[in-house]
Chains A and B, each alone.
Chain A
Amino acid sequence: MSMKPLAMRDALLERIWHEMATNPDIFFASADFGSPVLDKIRADYPARFVNVGIAEQNLINISAGLSLEGYTVFAYAIAPFITMRCYEQIRVNLALLAEARQLNVNLIGVGAGYSYVVSGPTHQCYEDITLMRVLPNMQIFSPADHVCAAALLERCVVETGPKYIRLDAQPLPVIYTGGAPDMERGFHVHRHGARVVFVATGYMLHTGIAVAEQLREAGEVVGIIDMFDLARFNADALAVALSGYDIIVTIEEGFSGRGGLDALLRTFTVRHCLKARMLCIGVEPAYRFDLGTRLDLHELVGIGPAAVLRAVVEMLATLEASAGTKREVESL
């Protein structure tokens, strides 16, 4: 069943707009960033909307203050700006203050990874997962399609505390054509595999699916897991989902080896005594000014489908070589 993809932000904002009709505590704050659906929010609920201007530090502070007065706040801006321009405001007035006060502030960052393809490294965002992950009390959501993005609404409203929702700026093909996954669980197993499982988040789930398809044609059935919650996923369920694999491949549109999804999974596998080898695919940590399509850029930095396929095939060869060695050792 095919389904027309929407921009993630419009899908989520549509849900927020509906929620605002019956929930008088919802407040929407933007740092001069828009969307067609935002026009409806602005027009229909002017008393619960504010545009702070190009001022992300103030966006966070205003949102914290509104939340202290009992509002459930959605704060909306471009991903690198809403995470990095105002990092200390997030740390002190959201993550830290949440230790002492009941807050509900949901940061919506649009433009995960390379989704602003030709705008260059200021507008691209390869650090946000790491930076938000390091803050206690901060939840992180990273949906792979608009269905999952829209389904985050309930958790945003019901669960208190600060949250970061990283959205792709481009409409992505619909993964959840049959409806949203179990949002409480925090991850979704798309497919079970034999030796290899891909753990991907956001846009990279689509890359993972494409590579898995190529591998399946070559006889290797790969498992695929969508990690859309990078903080409060069901850990016991994830340990079960990952058990039995020889290789866990993390795939993220963020710097590799810098504390993102790869670090999350490495720590997780150690804590849960999972024996699998790990292959961590992420953006080679460097800032670049290259232009091209998103796929061109992905191949340049080592996260395109061709690069992922190459890395997985190499890893499988290593696994087979060492398994061979092991058999030889046993036969001696």
Chain B
Amino acid sequence: MNPSAEILRAKADWVWRETLAIHRRAPETRIASSLSPIEIFVALYYGGVLRFDPREPLAAMRDRCIISKGHGSICMYPILADLGFFPKEELLRVCEKGSFLGGIPDPVIPGYETLNGSLGHGLGVATGIALGLKRRGSARSVFVITGDGELHEGANWEAIMFAAHHGLDNLHVVVDNNEISMLGHTADIVAHGSLVLKFAAFGWDTEEVDGHDVALVQSALLAQKEVADGRPKLLVARTLKGRGVPGLENAPLAHIMNPKPALLDILLEAHT
């Protein structure tokens, strides 16, 4: 029995607050990019989508989750701590000497699989993992969480073609489609047009949802996971960069903006 929409919503709100709290203590972390994918991660980790074992993060039984937008996944720190991948006290030491929780996550963190500080690498490596699982006859799935900005990297499209050709229906790509990269809206930089149409033209199964409706994200992912029709799967999650933070939400330069500590204190107080 998967958790109800109310429980997932409450969890997402808690993750939002914890992510702000981490950023309040460690302003080096990228806050705006880490607020847009919260519901995606909550649906994956609490919504019964991913199989995992916090006591054995690299267990063969796990579904592989490749977080390609590494910098924009600080919200995973409270999630992984909450699920028991590491002690919650670690959240108080982000970016400090001796901590394994850095400004950009590395695979020294229990629960992280690969290196994703450099963008546009996750999808290709995930495709290799998906091919390996298929060739070994494993039923496990691979999920990739990518930003839309990093889809400007050409290596992604090599993997997108490859995955469709090899029928990797165990591969899921979830795009945190906040439509903003570092210097503005992607539509003004190099427009993607419709990612759904593009991926569909490459032979992928595609869905698009409101990426902040955690129950919708959950049901879309669960439905896609059920299907094995030889097509890899894309879920475009429409999201807002910097969601819920006044002045930051959907600001073109949100990536490089840090909310003032006083504002963070007010928000944290209000959401206690």
Contacts and interface: CB of A to CB of B under 8 A. Distances in A.
A150 interface: no
B183 interface: no
B115 A58 contact: no
21 contacts: A27-B135, A53-B162, A55-B162, A57-B154, A58-B124, A58-B127, A58-B155, A61-B123, A61-B124, A62-B124, A62-B131, A65-B127, A65-B131, A65-B132, A68-B114, A68-B125, A70-B136, A71-B132, A88-B121, A92-B117, A101-B107
B124 A69 contact: no
Interface residues of A, number: 29
B158 interface: yes
B196 interface: no
A62 B162 contact: yes
B136 A92 contact: no
Nearest to A69: B132
Contacts of A50: 131, 166
Given A93-B121, A101-B107, A65 B129 contact: yes
Nearest to B155: A57
Nearest to A97: B115
A188 interface: no
Given A62-B124, A65-B132, 13 more contacts: A50-B131, A52-B162, A53-B158, A57-B124, A57-B158, A58-B158, A58-B159, A61-B159, A65-B126, A68-B129, A92-B115, A92-B121, A97-B114
A224 to B, nearest CB: 42
B133 A93 contact: no
Nearest to A55: B158
Contacts of A65: 124-132
Nearest to A47: B135
Given A57-B154, A57-B158, A66-B131, A92 B124 contact: no
B106 interface: yes
Contacts of B115: 92-93, 96-97, 100
Interface of A: 27, 47-48, 50, 52-53, 55, 57-58, 60-71, 88-89, 92-93, 96-97, 100-101
B118 interface: yes
A157 to B, nearest CB: 17
B249 interface: no
Contacts of A93: 114-115, 121, 124-125
A100 B135 contact: no
A71 B133 CA distance: 10
B113 interface: yes
Contacts of B61: none
